[in-house]
Amino acid sequence: DSGVTQTPKHLITATGQRVTLRCSPRSGDLSVYWYQQSLDQGLQFLIQYYNGEERAKGNILERFSAQQFPDLHSELNLSSLELGDSALYFCASSVGQGGYSPLHFGNGTRLTVT
């Protein structure tokens, strides 16, 4: 158990809808990262937050947004969903003090857009 909790585990929704994915980082970790994993592309970095502030953006679509709250949990919001958004979405956390800390991943949310 990595200590990173993601909910829900599965989500099935229709095109055009909006969903929110939730992540609770490991105790003591200040950084939260969101990754998307699809069959053909592997793990793609979306966005990072550190102690409530956005730190880095990757290949995140404008239809997607995220935030990290004062209690350090994070939410990833996906809107105007398309079939191609179907994927596994992983949250990871790290101490995030600028050191050489590994990322620890949750077990993901599987999103299916129909």
Partner 1 sequence: EDQVTQSPEALRLQEGESSSLNCSYTVSGLRGLFWYRQDPGKGPEFLFTLYSAGEEKEKERLKATLTKKESFLHITAPKPEDSATYLCAVQAPSNFGNEKLTFGTGTRLTIIP
Q: What does the binding site for partner 1 look like in residue numbers (CB under 8 A)?
A: 2, 4, 31, 33, 41-43, 45, 48, 50, 55-56, 58, 90, 92, 94, 96-98, 100-108, 110
Q: Are strands 109-113 and 10-13 parallel, antiparallel or unpaired?
A: parallel
Least distance to partner 1, CB of residue 56, Å:
4
Least distance to partner 1, CB of residue 38, Å:
11
Backbone angle region of 110, left / alpha / beta, with phi > 0 → left and psi within -120 to 50 → alpha = beta
CA 15 to chain centre: 20
Least distance to partner 1, CB of residue 44, Å:
8
Closer to partner 1 at the Cβ: 2 or 114? 2
Locus of tokens 């998307």: 36
